[in-house]
Structure formats: structure tokens, C-alpha cells
Amino acid sequence: MSVSGDATAGEGNSPKMRVIRVGTRKSQLARIQADSVVAMLKDLYPGLQFEMVAMSTTGDKILDTALSKIGEKSLFTKELEYALEKNEVDLVVHSLKDLPTVLPPAFTIGAVCKRESPYDAVIFHPKYAGQTLGTLPEKSVIGTSSLRRAAQLQRKFPHLEFKSIRGNLNTRLRKLDEQQEFSAIILAAAGLQRMGWQSRVGQLLYPEECLYAVGQGALGVEVRAKDQEVLDLVRVLHDPETLLRCIAERAFLRHLEGGCSVPVAVHTVLKDGQLYLTGGVWSLDGSDSLKETMQTTINVLAQHEDGPEDDVQRVGITARNISQGAQMAAENLGISLANLLLNKGAKKILDVARQLNDAH
């Protein structure tokens, strides 16, 4: 079967009828995210049928340990990749922030979908409705599964205490509402948006308060790297702006050798042909940090020209239909910013953070 890579794929060039098996985690949010990708593909290829294959991952099963302490980079992806490898599914939908910056060689991210809000959101216990983090009482406990959030916010709000909270979104909200342990919890705004729970958001954390996680708010579609048929099928989902921002972010993280066991965070803006990347590293308690911003000129609308580098993966992403020059500029920006921070002592901050995290 031949699949058109044209973004205007419709009835005329829809692939002939077959069933595409879509792998996803079992949580309600994961299913909503997978459904949204399937809906876009159905619009583009009305002749295709889709079958959902839901499964639990290591990260879903280990709920009594902080994510940063499990020491496994592919916590939410390994079982799904195993199904992809065994040809039990054809593509897998992930939150891009869950995908490591180095993928096993057999896989690639074939699409980076348009990003929703990349910011973090604060949800308050009902008795603190109308408050902000700054106005909460001394020693209020804030629940978050992220070292990145805790490190930045401890520095900004030293009167608060931060404690790990695990489980899917439904579980965390229930823990907040039904127990008296947490005054507030912090979650990704995009997940709350997709679940239709925007009304619970009491405060959005903008970059001046808290930089976000690499890839946060974007969905990634992982496929077999050699499966040209499915690569061609999903590549129309690439959102050029999101793709370039996330390549820069992932290159920054990869070059720093960061992961969820150390506090690394970013903020990107693509405006008037300039890609701006702010990146930072923090000690676990936020007392030590480095943060810098760099920019590069990028031509998002540059025509893609077929060439020998068509199948190049950049930080695990394959995007044949987006200008290679623009992708290279984004990747180099991430590497340059990481080098700047490393030259200023980022490695020491991250090494200490890693050691302390492992010791606790």
C-alpha cells in the first residue's frame, strides 16, 4: 500500500482499508490522548480503521516510589515499545515528555503533534480555593512527582514544603480532595485541559516562576524506524513550530545527560524567525542553579528538499517533510545552550543532585 505524505491527504489518496493498531497506556488521560491522534488520522485517511491496544507500563505499576528514584529512563514507554517491536501494534501515542531523548535504535518518533499549554498548573485543596502558592500558610505541603517543579518552587516559595505524590490524574485529585495531607498539587496544564478539568486550575505557573519539562504539552507518535508505510502515514501530524521547539529542548536535555532524576527545565519561543531557548539546572533544594537563554535564526517555512539526510533522526525524531536546515538549527541551539551551562558548572550541580536523589 502506498500512503501519501501530503498534509491534505483525503479520500483520493487514502490508503486502502486496513486496521492500524494503536498502543497506549491504560489511564483515562492516555486514552484521551490516543483518541485525539486517531481522530486526526481518521480525518486525513477516511479509509483506515483503528484498533486501540491499551497496556500498563512499569511507571503505572510502581506507585509507592517517586519517579526520580526508580532509576529507569523508559518508565512509561518500555512495555509499549516491546509491543511495537513484536509487531503487536503499529504506532504508540505518548506524552512527549515521557519519551527519553535516546530511543532504542529500532524506534523513532514519527510525529510531534501541535503542543497544548506547556505550563504547570496548581490545584488547591477546596479549603484553599482562591489562594496562590505565595499566599498559602507556612509549611503547607505541596504534592508533585517532579524534582524539576520542587527545586524551582522551593527556591521561589521557601515557606512551602514539597512531597512526592504518585498515581494517575484521577488518583492525585482524589488524594488532594479527600485527604488533609496536601494543600495543593501541581500537574501539567495540558493533561488537565485534555481531561476537561480546567475549572480546577487555581494558578498557572509561567516561566518566570517555573520553567517546564522538555516536551511538556506535546504528544509524540512512536513507530518502528524501518516501517516506511506507517512513517509516511503519521508524518502529516508533525506541527512544524512544536517540532522545532521540542528538538531544541530535547537536544539541550540530551547534551546535559539529564532525565527525571535531576531538575532540568526549559522554555522555548518561536517568533519572527527566531527560536529562543531558555534552559536551567537546579540543585534538589533549588539553592544552587544556572539559567541562560540563547537564540538562533530559523526558517520554519523553508521548503524541504529531498536529500541524503532525509532519514536522519534528531533526538529520536524523524521528520522528512520539515526543512532539515531548520531542524539542524534547532538541534544546534539546544547543544549550544547545554555547552554554555556545562562550561559554567552545570555538571557539578547535576552530579550532586543525582547523588543526593540516589541516597535518599
User: What are the boundaries of each domain within the chain?
Assistant: 19-117+214-359, 120-205
- 3.30.160.40, 3.40.50.2300, 3.30.750.24, 3.50.50.60: which CATH number matches 19-117+214-359? 3.30.160.40
What tens digit of pLDDT does each residue of 245-274 get? Answer: 999 999 999 999 866 678 999 999 999 999
**CA atoms of 158 and 326, how far apart (whole Å):** 41
Provide the whole-model pTM.
Answer: 0.89
Give the residue numbers marked as catalytic.
98
> Spelled out in words, what is the top-level CATH class assigned to the domain 120-205?
alpha beta
d(CA 126, CA 108): 43
pLDDT tier for residue 14 given thresholds of 50, 70 and 90: very low
Band (133; pLDDT cuts 50, 70, 90): very high
In angstroms, the Cα distances linking 108 to 7, 85, 111, 314 are: 20, 12, 9, 9
Residue 144: phi and psi, rounded to 5, are -155, 145
pLDDT band at 207, cuts 50/70/90?
very high
